[in-house]
Amino acid sequence: MRIATFNVQNMRLRMRDGAPRLDGARDRDADEDAGADALDPIDRRLTAAVLRAADADVVALQEVFDQATLDHFHDAWLAPTGAAPYPFRHCLPGNDGRGLDVALMSRLPPLRIQSHAAETPRSLGVAPPPGIDPDAPLFRRDCLEARIGALTLFVCHFKAPWPDPERAAALRRAEAAGLRRLIERRFAEPARALWLALGDMNEPAGLSATGALAPLADGFCVDLLERLPEDERWTWASPDGRGAGRPDAMLASPALAARWPQARPRIIRAGLDRLAGPPARSGPPRFAQVGPHRPHASDHAAVVVDLPGAETQTAPEGAP
């Protein structure tokens, strides 16, 4: 089974002049000049090209507006690339005030799809950050759970590090604690189960005992990106090229990491803008249509990992 995660940056379907149109891969506070709209369809053609290159059996997506957006992108943009279809597509309503949710596309039938958008600090037994209602939703978007083959996936998109970085880190730490509680609630022996938490964790330095993902960093999981050389782990870079990080993560159970010891994530940066990342770490060439900033597929790279046989194995949920 090949699994990918990809933050597609503000993908929303709108009706414009009576025709469906996807927003481009841009933030609302940038690229608002007169020519920006013309780049939107090129962005989404590049988004589709990244997913075609990934050719994953299961794709976790972040920043998809709703089910209609997901279906339109699949049918009108991804299918024309020649990519094998994803008949199983899910984008459930989450908690983001702008409507940017997590989503899942799969070529394999999920055995379970479950939203955890309604979970609260109180329901999960997590201490809320200061000023947060213990009965308010804990996950800023959702934590979408899917059982596919022998694996259970937890698709996440944690709080972005702005406008207040310190407060945002406290919220991410609470989300990480909530993710751990969900996994512990699902499995009697989490270390022996086959699960993978993946998505945009918004933690630029990845898993560490001192960062916001600390609740997961005591041996509870294995950061698969640590299997890459340090200078190859970056998945996002600021538009000015001055900063790079690895907010996109694949956090595996110890059992999954042990069963697939050679599984090394592959990072697809071909859709990133040409200014993203230091030149020495830029990797393979960008797609031909990518510009210095825009058009681009997203401000994130896609991350892909191969777990051979996971689609057919039927190990019990609590066993390796």
Q: Domain residues of the chain, as ranges?
A: 2-306
Dist CA 3 CA 55 (whole Å): 9
Q: Is 262 exposed, middle or buried (0-12, 13-18, 19+ CB in 10 A)?
A: exposed
Which run of H or E residues covers position 168? helix 165-186
CA-CA distances (angstroms) from residue 314 to 168, 187, 188, 195, 317? 39, 15, 17, 13, 9
**CB count, 10 Å around CB of 189?**
13
Number of H helices, E strands in the chain: 5, 16
Dist CA 176 CA 181 (whole Å): 9
Token pair recorded at residue 20: 């469906």
Dist CA 73 CA 79 (whole Å): 9
Q: What is the pLDDT of residue 34?
A: 63
Domain 2-306: give its CATH code.
Answer: 3.60.10.10
Q: What is the pLDDT of residue 31?
A: 55
pTM comes to 0.95
Q: What is the DSSP string of 122-164?
A: HHHT-PPPTT--TTS-SSSS-EEEEEETTEEEEEEEPPPS-S-
Q: What is the pLDDT of residue 320?
A: 41
HSE, side-chain direction, 13 A CA sphere, residue 261: 1
Question: Would you say how long the chain is, in residues?
Answer: 320
Torsion angles phi and psi, residue 151, rounded to 5: -105, 150
How far, in whole angstroms, is CA 196 from its chain's centroid?
A: 12
Dist CA 195 CA 186 (whole Å): 10
**CB count, 10 Å around CB of 162?**
9
Dist CA 142 CA 131 (whole Å): 20
Token pair recorded at residue 281: 């770490």
pLDDT digits (tens, 9 = 90+) for 50-74: 999 999 999 999 999 999 999 999 9
Token pair recorded at residue 71: 């279906």
Q: What is the pLDDT of residue 312?
A: 82
Q: Does residue 265 come out as left (phi exceeding 0), alpha (psi in the -120 to 50 range) or beta? A: beta
Per-residue tens of pLDDT for the chain, all 320 residues: 999 999 999 999 999 889 999 999 998 645 556 678 899 999 999 999 999 999 999 999 999 999 999 999 999 999 999 999 999 999 999 999 888 999 999 999 999 999 999 999 999 999 999 999 999 999 999 999 999 999 999 999 999 998 999 999 999 999 999 999 999 999 999 999 999 999 999 999 999 999 999 999 999 999 999 999 999 999 998 766 667 899 999 999 999 999 999 999 999 999 999 988 866 455 678 999 999 989 999 999 999 999 999 998 655 444 44
Dist CA 165 CA 21 (whole Å): 33
